[in-house]
Amino acid sequence: MQVSHVRPLPGPQPPVQPKRPAAGGPRFGDVLARTLEEVRFSQHAAERLRARGIQLGPDEARRLAAGVERAAAKGARDSLILLGDLAFIVSVKNRTVVTAVDGPRLREGVFTNIDSAVLV
Structure confidence at residue 3 (pLDDT): 47
Q: What is the pLDDT of residues 44-88, one digit of tens each?
A: 999 999 998 888 889 999 999 999 999 999 999 999 999 988 999
Report the distance separating Cα 78 and Cα 44, nearest Å.
16
Report the distance separating Cα 79 and Cα 102, nearest Å.
16
Across-strand partners of 80? 89, 117
Radius of gyration of the CA atoms of the chain, in A: 23
Structure confidence at residue 38 (pLDDT): 84
Report the distance separating Cα 109 and Cα 46, nearest Å.
21
Report the distance separating Cα 29 and Cα 37, nearest Å.
12
Report the distance separating Cα 106 and Cα 116, nearest Å.
17
